[in-house]
Amino acid sequence: MEQNKTKFVIPLPPTGSTLNCKGWHQEAALRCLLNNLHPEVAEDRDNLIVYGGKGKAARDLKSLEILISTLKRLGNEETLLVQSGKPVAVFPSQKTSPRVLIANSNLVGNWSNWDHFHELEKKGLMMYGQMTAGSWIYIGTQGIIQGTYETFMSAAKIHFNSTLKGRIVLSAGLGGMGGAQPLSVKIAEGVFVGCDVDEERIKKRLKSKYLDHLASSFEEAWSMALKFKEDKVATSVGVVGNAADFFEYVLKQKVLPDLVTDQTSAHDPLDGYVPKNLSLAAAKEMRSQDPKKYMELAYQTMGDHVQSMLEFQKRGCFVFDYGNNLRAGAMKAGVEKAFAFPGFVPAYIRPLFCEGSGPFRWVALSGDPKDIEVSENALCELFPENKKLKTWIAAAKKHIQFQGLPSRICWLNYFERAAAGELFNRLVREKKISAPMVIGRDHLDCGSVASPYRETESMLDGSDAVADWPLLNAMINVAGGASWISLHNGGGVGIGYSQHSGMVILCDGSLEMDQRLALVLNSDSGMGIVRHADAGYDLAAQSLSRTKNFSMPCMPKEN
């Protein structure tokens, strides 16, 4: 008689300073992989879904089990290859080579669409890696919060004299990414009001204090928002409901919102977006029983959703797309003017990209929040003139609860990232931090993504869809010696609509990592300057003129 095999249980990430692997690069990958699946972090842990519809950390439980065991025995001169969440090979490599190389959801151009992806997914041949889900550096909703804050503050600067005080921001989607919106608006002194079809997601944001209030109806939600606006109280309100329905309701009111956007999972019309007039249970059933009909209804709802946003714009509200491919979905439903309102990058963020600025995140592998506090304080001392950084760190300490391993995110530019890496590595070496840390970033960064409906929308030279840049970004990070590197298709906006790369590098206190950190953090963010200088942005050319670590052969040299 066969013995019953013990069912694999997803473990929590190890903490402390004791190794479970043969080296800290492998240990860091293991801890960050499991942190993506921490109960406080993952949206659907049992199905390995981290965030963003069905962005997964591993293809299936068996693959996860093998990933864990392989990382534990992986040598210091070996590299593990991961193909769409499945470990496929371990090859000999150099000590300074990445310990893990990951490729997720990549399809040859002609086949790069949801239909073909779903066929492969059903056969168990592929998974959707989103951005930081399949690259093992998601840090919970905090991971997008400062980028969201930067966007709203930029909008405030352009439209409202640099503050959202007394302004209402209307949005929808309160999942892993959209859940950053309420707190970001609050920190920017505004009033947030938004909906989600899933009450459990809203309750999760209430528990983590990313959201302040849950209204019982559309009427109550809007009434609360108007009262907070009148009193100039910075806060946030959530309500259960479909985005298209809620936006239509708000359009009928006498007072309209000041800013309108959206962060539903419209990038995934099957598993992310819910058509109106369907309960969650009915939506789940239709997805499996009649996916074609489901997607047809989803696109129709996206069309209604965007029509409302266009009407808000017509009536004087400032409206922008937050990079979830909602406008493209509405186009499929016949909304010809869906792109009449801009995406958030060309509207508010591109000047930051031209300076090599973007989301810089770090994780305390020890699990000790004190390590983050020490690093935060040291970072503020390192850049005493960066008032925006100090303001952000103070706000983060006050408002943001850690999810899983303690971590922090801030936006740093090309001229700051390598210095921050050197600082953190020194703190580990001097034992002011109790165990190694890792530095990573979102794939939504200055030089790591090609996404024509998001990060590279409306490029000055028309190079929106040129995917060479994220490929070059990944390769230069391999050359520099990052700890693990990922290359994905479709994150943020859906299969076929983006190509992007991720990078994570260890701070273990060694002199070797001083050099590797300098190489990787300079070239990684330097790609943002190169990308935008090549496209003709004067601000990027100005940034290039200040650099000392790289050059662009095609750019004219100053006398």
Q: Domain boundaries in the chain?
A: 37-115, 142-341, 352-544
| 410 noted as active-site residue | yes
C-alpha closest to that of 308 among 377, 250, 353, 384: 250
Helices in 55-171 by DSSP H: which ranges?
61-73, 114-122, 142-159
pLDDT at 123 over 90: yes
Tokens of 226: 């108007």
Euclidean distance between CA atoms 436 and 15, whole angstroms: 11
pLDDT at 194 over 80: yes
Euclidean distance between CA atoms 96 and 304, whole angstroms: 52
pLDDT at 27 over 70: yes
Give the DSSP letter string of 384-450. TT-HHHHHHHHHHHHHPPP-SS-EEEEEE-HHHHHHHHHHHHHHHHTTSSSS-EEEEE-SSSSSSEE
Euclidean distance between CA atoms 522 and 516, whole angstroms: 10
Beta bridge partners of 101: 81, 485
Question: What pLDDT does 323 receive?
Answer: 86
Share of the chain above pLDDT 70, in %: 98
Question: What pLDDT does 4 receive?
Answer: 53
β 235-240/213-215 pair status: parallel
Tokens of 27: 């240990």
Sequence letter at residue 218: F
Question: What pLDDT does 557 receive?
Answer: 57
246-298 confidence digits (pLDDT tens): 999 999 999 999 999 999 999 999 999 999 999 999 999 999 999 999 999 99
Backbone conformation region of residue 236, classed left if phi is above 0, alpha if psi is from -120 to 50, else beta: beta
C-alpha closest to that of 148 among 439, 448, 349, 436: 349
CB 318 within 8 A of CB 259: yes
CB 283 within 8 A of CB 294: yes
Query: Rounded to 5 degrees, what are φ and ψ at 381?
Result: -70, -35
Distances (CA, A) of 102 to 36, 155, 211: 15, 35, 34
555 against 63, higher pLDDT: 63
C-alpha closest to that of 34 among 5, 6, 72: 72
User: 142-159 vs 387-399: helix axis angle to the nearest 10?
Assistant: 130
Distances (CA, A) of 272 to 80, 248, 299, 301, 400: 31, 21, 12, 13, 26
Beta strands in 267-311 (DSSP E): none
Beta strands in 325-375 (DSSP E): 358-364
Confidence of residue 2 (pLDDT cuts 50, 70, 90): very low
At which residue do the structure tokens 């006398």 appear? 559
pLDDT at 559 over 50: no
The single residue of 21, 32, 317, 410 carrying the catalytic annotation is 410
Question: What pLDDT does 1 receive?
Answer: 39
Average pLDDT over residues 319-336: 95
pTM of the model: 0.90
Instruction: Decide which of 3.40.50.1820, 3.40.50.2000, 3.40.50.10730, 1.10.1760.20 is the CATH code for 142-341.
Output: 3.40.50.10730
Tokens of 49: 């879904």
Instruction: Decide which of 3.40.1770.10, 3.30.390.50, 3.30.300.30, 3.40.50.1370 is the CATH code for 352-544.
Output: 3.40.1770.10
Query: Rounded to 5 degrees, what are φ and ψ at 240?
Result: -80, 130
Query: Hey, do 142-341 and 352-544 end up sharing a CATH topology, with the first three levels equal?
Result: no
Question: What pLDDT does 527 receive?
Answer: 97
C-alpha closest to that of 19 among 73, 90, 79: 73
Euclidean distance between CA atoms 10 and 19, whole angstroms: 19
β 499-507/484-489 pair status: antiparallel
Question: What pLDDT does 5 receive?
Answer: 64
List the end-to-end C-alpha distance of the chain, in Å, as a whole number.
Answer: 83
pLDDT at 6 over 90: no
260 against 4, higher pLDDT: 260
Cβ–Cβ contacts within 10 Å for residue 92, how many? Answer: 9
36-91 confidence digits (pLDDT tens): 999 999 999 999 999 988 999 999 999 999 999 999 999 999 999 999 999 999 99
User: 280-289 vs 291-314: helix axis angle to the nearest 10?
Assistant: 130
Helices in 8-53 by DSSP H: which ranges?
24-36
